Amino acid sequence: MVVLANIQVKRALLVLLGVILASGFGWALWPKPVPVDLLAISRGPLTVTVDEEGKTRIRRVYTVSSPITGKLQRVELKAGDEVKKGDTVVAIVEPSAPPLLDLRTTREQTAHVAAAKAFVALAEAEIRAARTDLQFVESELSRAEALQNTAAISPRTVEKARSDVDMRKAALARAQANEEVRKRELESAEARLLPPDEAALGRVPATCCVRVMAPENGFVLKLLQESEKDIVAGTPLVEIGNPSDIEIVVELLSAEAVRVSEGADAMIEAWGGRTPLKARVRRVEPSGFTKVSALGIEEQRVRVILDLADSNGSPPGLGHDYRIFARIGIYHAADAVLVPVSALFRRGSAWAVFVAEGGRARVAEIEIGERNSTFAEVRGGLQEGTSVIPYPSDRVGDGVRVEAALQTNWSQ
């Protein structure tokens, strides 16, 4: 009997152990609720912006160029120096020395000089001939006037003699003018033979140098030419502008630029200061341009010009061609039902979220409107106060049990 009782006890213990093990395996294999964060949907303002890097630009930049071809003296100005309109000498340009002539050009110019000398000699001969003719007709006029007193000749003969004198005087004046023309031609031909070392010998006066003056009050932004060198007319020398007159230039994708309107508010960030700067869109340029991105992709972009809203001008330290980051407002809702973008996912062609109902995750298709990088505007399918699951993992599905690891109300 004792042995039989022991056997029954052992069987009971084995059965109990089996039940415990089966319960443990069942409990271990039983699906547990997935821990998720829950956010209760609220209402709030929504601002949608177009974000893009840009740069500052002085509104009026003056590029000073050389008015003549010559030798530029070393520019003593430095970037940041203040200049006064019509008072500050920006650069000094000396006329360039004549170039060296090759043998063929030398012979041609020598022949031109010889021809010019011959023309001068011809003009001098014409003057002598005109003087001789004038002396002759003047003597004829004197005799005619003497004979007129004795009535030996007619008045018409006297008038004819006077007319001849006037004509010979005009011929002499013409010959003298022709001589001046030929002399100037000779000087021009001789100047073409001027050797390049004439300036070094001091034959070019120092007063012939051109002093380029500052066209406007401001500061030197950039020295385009600094060292002494030979330049041609129109060579840019320096850039001048007023750093207190700053505007912002942002190059937006054309698909984003069409949503920006003139007068829209903007915020300027990452400019180096502690607080963002307020700005306002002044102009959206009507034409775009093609720009190749760093990845080699051709993009069609449009320049958007912004003015700083601070009436005191640009903040200290902000200069020309400085990098900034602009956020330009394109939409604002003062009171809207908002859902975090992190809770959204695509379901076919619709947007959807996971909502927590009765301890389980349920898929809810919603209609959204405008959105920014953090929130989206709900226009249908989701009510205020509903709890949604942000950043749902691959363990979360329709009907899966969930439990709140963190449940909060969010605010912008």
Residues 232 and 84 in one domain: yes
> Is this structure's pTM higher than 0.85?
no
User: At residue 158, what is the residue type?
Assistant: V
Structure tokens at 193: 């033979």
Q: Average pLDDT, whole number, for the chain? A: 83
- Show the domain range for 266: 51-57+243-333
Query: Are residues 189 and 231 located together in one domain of the fold?
Result: no
In a domain, 28, yes or no: no
Place of tokens 């003699």: 161
Q: What is the pLDDT of residues 251-294, one digit of tens each?
A: 999 999 999 999 999 999 998 888 899 999 999 999 999 998 88
Q: Do 258 and 315 have their domain in common?
A: yes
Among the three residues 193, 228, 259, which one is the final residue of a domain in this structure? 193
Tokens of 253: 């994708």
pLDDT band at residue 311, thresholds of 50, 70 and 90?
low
Answer yes or no: do 133 and 183 share one domain. Answer: yes
Residues 329 and 343 in one domain: no
What CATH number did the domain enclosing 40 receive?
Answer: 2.40.420.20
Mean pLDDT score, 380-392: 86
In our burial notation (b when 16+ CB lie closer than 10 A, e otherwise), range 286-317 reads: eebeeeeeeeeeeeebbbbbbebeeeeebbee
Q: Output the CA–CA distances (angstroms, integers) from residue 176 to 63, 116, 124, in the order listed.
A: 49, 16, 8
Asked if residue 9 is part of any domain, the answer here is no
In a domain? residue 6: no
Same domain, 313 and 366: no
Q: Write out pLDDT tens, residues 69-119.
A: 888 889 989 988 999 998 999 999 888 776 777 788 888 888 888 998 898
Please identify which residue in the block is written with the tokens 């100047």: 191
Share of the chain above pLDDT 90, in %: 25
In tens, the pLDDT along 173-210 reads 998 899 899 889 888 888 787 776 554 454 555 556 88
Instruction: Specify if 16 maps to a domain.
Output: no
Q: What is the pLDDT of residue 401?
A: 82
The DSSP line for 351-363 is EEEEEEETTEEEE
Distance (Å) of CA 410 to CA 47, 116, 164, 356: 16, 97, 115, 16
Quick one: 230 and 258 in the same domain? no
Domain with residue 223: its CATH number is: 2.40.50.100
Residues 186 and 305 occupy one common structural domain: no
**What single letter denotes the amino acid at residue 183?**
K
Which of 315, 333, 351 marks a domain boundary? 333
Q: How many domains does the chain have?
A: 4
